[in-house]
Amino acid sequence: MSEAKVVRPPGSVAAEPMAGEGVKDVMKRVLISPDEGWEGWVMRLFEIAPGGHTPRHAHDWPHVNFVAEGSGELFMDGEDLEIEKGSAAFVPAGVLHQYTNTGAEPLALLCIVPERGAG
């Protein structure tokens, strides 16, 4: 790991489709990671198209979120919680969760995870 002074303009990181079962219309950009010097953590930006969603799943690492654009729902453990531009969230390890874009605009959200959860 090295440390780098980095500014990434919007859109400067290539987007790739989020892979895996239960995913619909989600693009992923890795913004900051151990490659830049953030030891152990990765900040990704997900863009979910209207009607799209991430998988409904659980894993043994947490998520830290911030909604950059749009609106939708964050399902956690049986509850649908509204999220909108400017919302922050914490999804503890082990909690069943899913992000869904229920709005008419793209839902852009940061999702910060430990390095082992960033694959």
* In the complex, least distance from residue 116 CB atom to its own copies, rounded to whole angstroms: 14
Report long-range pairs for 75-84 (Cβ below 8 Å, ≥24 apart): 75/99, 75/100, 83/107, 83/109
| Separation of first and last alpha carbons in the chain | 17
The encoded tokens of residue 27 equal 């693009």
Per-residue mark of binding to its own copies, 9-28 (x: CB under 8 A) = xxx-x---------------
Tokens (6 digits) for 40: 């152990």
Between 17 and 92, CB nearer to its own copies: 92
Q: How many angstroms separate the most distant Cα atoms in the chain?
A: 41
Q: Is 1 in the site for its own copies (CB under 8 A)?
A: no
Considering only residues 89 to 108 of the shown chain, the ones binding its own copies according to CB under 8 A are 89-93, 95
Tell me the CA distances in angstroms from 15 to 31, 39, 47, 74, 113, one per residue in order.
Answer: 10, 23, 9, 22, 18
Stretch that binds its own copies, among 18-26, 40-48, 52-60, 99-107 (CB under 8 A): 40-48
Q: Applying CB under 8 A, which part among 15-23, 51-59, 62-70, 98-106 lies near its own copies?
A: 62-70
Instruction: Report the interface residues with its own copies, using CB under 8 A.
Output: 3-11, 13, 31-32, 36-38, 41, 43, 45, 62, 64, 66, 68, 74, 76-77, 79, 81-93, 95, 110, 112
